[in-house]
Chains A and B, each alone.
Chain A
Amino acid sequence: MMARLPAGGGRFTRAVADMAVEFITRTARGTAAAVAHLNGLAVAGVLGHADLEGAVVQPPGTPVHDLNGEVLFHRMRLERGGLPVGYVDVADHPGLGAPLVAMAHGVDWQGLRLVDAAREAAAERYGIRDVDAARLVAYSFPKLAVQLLDGEREVAMLEVGTWEPVPERRDRDAGEPPSDFERWSFLDELAEEDRERRQRSFEETNEALSSLHTQVTGGGGAAALATPYLISPPQWAGFIPSFIFTLSRELHFSTRDTDHHPCYEVRGQETSVWCVGASTQMVLDFYRYGYTQTRIAQQLGLGTVQNPNGLPYSRDGDVVTALETLTGNALTATMLTTPPFSSYTAEIQANRPLISFIPGHSRTVAGYDHVISNQPALNFEGLLVYDPWPPNAGVVTRWENFAVQTYRRAFTAQVTLV
């Protein structure tokens, strides 16, 4: 939905016009920064299967609003030769912390069609026809809905895809997280301290990346080395060394990330010494084996809940036996000693969780985050760890700094194919 200028002249109109110009300028700058970021990722080869070379970002895209009405980001289509490649989310609001919010590959993004579909669903399913405006809203960031308006009044908010009405906002207790299907404002729920940090990070990143974009594209002038919205690693390669690349992945239902949400659950260890049992349970749960932790403990020789014991170092290899036995050899397990970071990334890229032994403890790994820069201080290798500690709870550690942890063993498990 475009910003409208009120009729008439005067100071107020000029102020609003200034705001509109500032808004458009900010979006254009953010788009430039996002294009620079995408080119950086492409040059670094960290986009995996998402081949973006030759793709062109299509601004201005579709605005997506926060629940409080502010524009959060624009979702822009990526095309190659007029055919859909995916989409990219470009931040408008500095509260998001960085210009490039997200990128999806293999998706045909058509924002206006979604809005039309919402209008049709509203009319057919709910009899709502008096709608004079509609806009996309991140009702539970990053989940989207279409908000249908009569003037300033909301007449319905329908979740994209299911077209189910998003429930009215409710008062939550202090500290109570939103439920799975609930509207809440990403911006309003940012703590002030966090908001300020994000804004600083956004401005710094935006400044650096948009400058890089100007350097490479010549600001769109005759000296341009690359066209403004093109993903072209060869043209950008010479400029990228002063850039930061990030590669990140976590387990999904399959290797096709756009098909499903992340797909993994933490299991708390049921005694103070059953971390191996809980870790094995997490991996088996991922492959849809519904063993109790007690049964897994029995297989591993870890005693009972009333009289438990841990797995001695000398019996690390029992994890391999347990994974294979409990799956009737459907899984082929392997034990790695002091595995490097690349062992974890390779398994996660293949959509397989790992069990990770560190001194005195066992957890599972379900994702990673890899930041590469020519500025060593910014480099980062992180693991997404599903940790069964503390007992009867467990935590999700996003991220664990690979550089400061000691990794003793890792266990991989691969489905045996025929």
Chain B
Amino acid sequence: MSQGPSPSADAAREAALIAMARGMAPDLTGGAVGAPVPVRHPDGSVESWFVPVTRGDRLAGFVRITADLQFHSASSFPAAAQPEAATWLDAARISDTALQSAPGATLTGEPVLSYDRFPARIAWAVPVRDVDGVDVTVYVAGATAWRS
């Protein structure tokens, strides 16, 4: 998979911190700002950056920074429904979720944070070979998984 030129993760994190300092993410105040994860187009180039904000082991929300380092958005999960951070940030956990949704399938590659057809539908794309030997992508968003 080709990796297009992309700004550094540090620059994306800095952009997120500046946006937060300007009050653009008030619901994420007090959370720990994690390492940015690139959101990749299907061709591997960077569409945007997903900057996670956690509280303990929960994902409080995330800041999206565009590929050219503009603030895109800041989103928070409802307080009572914050997912485990690992369901969004741990590759092994994400792979497990994908495999559980496709019994008999095997992994054919690493999960890539991407989207299901449109960038607004952010999800991890997990390449698997299904029980019939067909290579497919399973998308994983938190605890939910579905086949392309």
Give chain A's interface residues, CB within 8 Å of chain B.
97-98, 173-177, 189-191, 193-194, 197-198, 200-201, 266, 268, 271-272, 275, 358-361, 363, 380, 382, 385, 387, 389-401, 403-405
Of B20, B58, B123, B146, which is within 8 A of A175 by CB?
Answer: B58
| Contact status B122-A272, CB under 8 Å | no
- What are the residues of chain A within 8 A of B141 when measuring CB–CB? 389-391, 393
Residues of A with C-beta under 8 A to B55: 174-177
Q: Does B30 contact A194, Cβ atoms closer than 8 Å?
A: yes
Q: Are A400 and B83 in contact (CB under 8 A)?
A: no
In the bound complex, CA of A392 to CA of B140 (Å): 12
Between A and B, 16 residue pairs with Cβ closer than 8 Å are A176-B56, A177-B79, A194-B29, A194-B30, A197-B17, A198-B21, A359-B119, A380-B22, A390-B142, A394-B78, A395-B61, A397-B73, A398-B76, A400-B73, A401-B73, A404-B66
A401 touches B72 (CB 8 A): yes
| Complex: A177 Cα to B21 Cα, angstroms | 21
Of B21, B54, B83, B120, most buried by chain A (CB within 10 Å of CB) is: B120
Sort A-B residue pairs by CB-CB distance and give the 5 closest, nearest first: A175-B56, A360-B118, A174-B56, A390-B141, A175-B55
B25 within 8 A of A: yes
Q: Is the CB of B120 within 8 A of A389?
A: yes
A396 touches B78 (CB 8 A): yes
Q: Considering only CB atoms and an 8 Å cut-off, how many residues of chain B contact the other chain?
A: 49
Chain A contacts for B104, CB-based, 8 A: none
Binary per-residue interface labels of chain B (85-117) against chain A in the complex, 1 for a CB within 8 Å, 0 otherwise: 000000000000000000000000000000011
Determine if B30 and A399 form an interchain contact, defined as CB atoms under 8 angstroms apart: no
Cβ contacts under 8 Å, A201 to chain B? 21-22
Whether B144 contacts A399 by the Cβ 8 Å rule is no
Question: Does A390 lie within 8 Å of B122, measured CB to CB?
Answer: yes
Complex Cα distance A253/B48, Å?
36
Residues of chain A with a CB closer than 8 A to B22's CB: 201, 380
- The distance in angstroms between the C-alpha atoms of A399 and B61, with both chains bound, is 12
B49 close to A (CB within 8 Å): no
| Bound CA span A271–B121, Å | 12
Q: Is the CB–CB distance between A398 and B74 below 8 Å?
A: yes
Asked if A173 meets B120 with Cβ closer than 8 Å, knowing A197-B21, A272-B144, A399-B74, the reply is: no
Contact of B146 among A198, A272, A361 (CB under 8 A): A272
User: Does A360 contact B120, Cβ atoms closer than 8 Å?
Assistant: yes
B121 near A380 with CB under 8 A, answer no
Chain A residues contacting B29 (CB-CB under 8 Å) are 190, 194
How many Å from the CB of B137 to the closest CB on chain A?
Answer: 12
Is there an interface contact between A175 and B57, defined as CB atoms closer than 8 Å?
A: yes
Return the chain B residue nearest A399 by Cβ.
B24
Instruction: Determine whether the beta carbon of B31 is less than 8 Å from that of A191.
Output: yes
B27 contacts chain A at the CB level, 8 A cutoff: yes
Q: Is the CB of A393 within 8 A of B75?
A: no
Known A175-B58, A271-B146, A395-B77; further 4 A-B contacts with Cβ < 8 A: A175-B57, A190-B29, A363-B120, A400-B72
Among A193, A197, A382, A396, which residue has its beta carbon within 8 angstroms of that of B27?
A396
Given contacts A194-B20, A201-B21, contact A393 B30 (CB under 8 A): no
- Contact across chains for A359 and B74 when beta carbons are under 8 A apart: no
The verdict on A391 contacting B144 (CB below 8 Å), with A173-B56, A190-B30, A358-B120 known, is yes
B72 touches A272 (CB 8 A): no
Chain A residue nearest to B58 in the complex (CB):
A175
Residue of A nearest to B143 (CB): A392
Residue of A194, A268, A396, A404 near B70 (CB, 8 A) is A404
Indicate if B23 sits at the interface (CB-CB under 8 A): yes
Which residues of A have CB within 8 Å of B116? 272
Distance (whole angstroms) from the CB of A405 to the closest CB of chain B: 7
Q: Chain B residues near A189 (CB, 8 Å)?
A: 30
* Residue on B nearest A275 in the bound complex, by CB: B121
In the assembled complex, which residues on chain B have CB atoms less than 8 Å from the CB atom of A363? 120
A266 to B61, CA, bound (A): 14
Q: How far, in Å, is A112 (CB) from chain B's closest CB? A: 31
Residues of B within 8 A of A193 (CB): 17, 33
Give the one of B57, B81, B116, B121 with max A CB within 10 A.
Answer: B121
Contact A401 B118 (CB under 8 A): no
In the assembly, what is the distance between CA of A26 and CA of B122, in Å?
46
Which residues of chain B are within 8 angstroms of A197 by Cβ–Cβ distance?
Answer: 17, 20-21
Complex CA–CA separation, A392 to B77 (angstroms): 11
Task: Point out the residues of chain A lying under 8 angstroms from B76, CB to CB.
Answer: 395-398
Contact at A392–B73, with CB atoms within 8 Å? no
A390 and B82 contact, Cβ closer than 8 Å, known pairs A399-B73, A404-B71: no
A395-B76, A396-B76 in contact; A361/B58 too (CB < 8 A)?
A: no
